[in-house]
């Protein structure tokens, strides 16, 4: 990761969600908020049919894909990526507003997956 690729608060949030998801899903997940996810079309269609189980309120789609895949008993494979400092534009992410929403989604999924 380049020096200015991620703000400290974002890095802390990323680490927190990594630990929380790994525990909830019983699979090691290092980077829940990386925007790159890959599914087959067949599995994505299956995921869409179950979307109402977790709700449709994920502003970025990352948690929706992860929790939906876990519900389908799909396994995750992580491929390392490199974070680089932004060279243009501004982020559209509000760390506190969106962080709070992602935290609520995590607790919602916790009840749906771990405490069924």
Q: What is the pLDDT of residue 92?
A: 64
Residue 45 pLDDT level (bands cut at 50, 70, 90): very high
Contact 21, 32 (CB under 8 A): yes
* 3 within a domain of the structure (yes/no): no
* 1 within a domain of the structure (yes/no): no
* 31 within a domain of the structure (yes/no): yes
| Whole-number Å distance between alpha carbons of 64 and 66 | 6
Count H helices, E strands: the chain? 4, 0
Backbone dihedral angles phi then psi of residue 99, each to the nearest 5 degrees: -60, -45
For the residues 44-63, what does the mean pLDDT come to? 79
* 41 within a domain of the structure (yes/no): yes
The chain-wide mean pLDDT, for the chain, equals 79
User: In the chain, how many domains are there?
Assistant: 1
* 2 within a domain of the structure (yes/no): no
84 pLDDT higher than 70: no
* 75 within a domain of the structure (yes/no): yes
For the residues 45-74, what does the mean pLDDT come to? 81
* 87 within a domain of the structure (yes/no): no
* 86 within a domain of the structure (yes/no): no
Q: What is the pLDDT of residue 78?
A: 82
By the 10 Å C-beta count (0-12 exposed, 13-18 middle, 19+ buried), 40 is classed as exposed
Q: What is the pLDDT of residue 42?
A: 94
Residue 89 pLDDT level (bands cut at 50, 70, 90): low
| Whole-number Å distance between alpha carbons of 42 and 44 | 5
Query: ∠ at Cα 33 (31, 35), nearest 5°?
Result: 110
110 pLDDT higher than 80: yes
| Whole-number Å distance between alpha carbons of 27 and 18 | 10
What's the predicted TM-score (pTM) here?
0.72
Parent domain of 100: 8-79+92-113
Tokens of 58: 């994920």
For the residues 72-97, what does the mean pLDDT come to? 74
């Amino acid at each position: 990761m380049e020096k200015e690729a991620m703000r400290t608060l974002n890095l802390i949030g990323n680490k927190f969600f990594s630990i929380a998801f790994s525990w909830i899903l019983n699979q090691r997940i290092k980077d829940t908020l990386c925007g790159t996810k890959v599914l087959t079309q067949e599995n994505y269609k299956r995921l869409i049919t179950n979307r109402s189980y977790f709700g449709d309120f994920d502003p970025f789609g990352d948690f929706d894909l992860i929790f939906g895949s876990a519900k389908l008993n799909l396994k995750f494979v992580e491929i390392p990526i490199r974070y680089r400092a932004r060279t243009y534009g501004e982020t559209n992410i509000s760390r506190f507003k969106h962080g709070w929403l992602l935290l609520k989604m995590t607790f919602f999924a916790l009840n749906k997956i771990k405490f069924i």
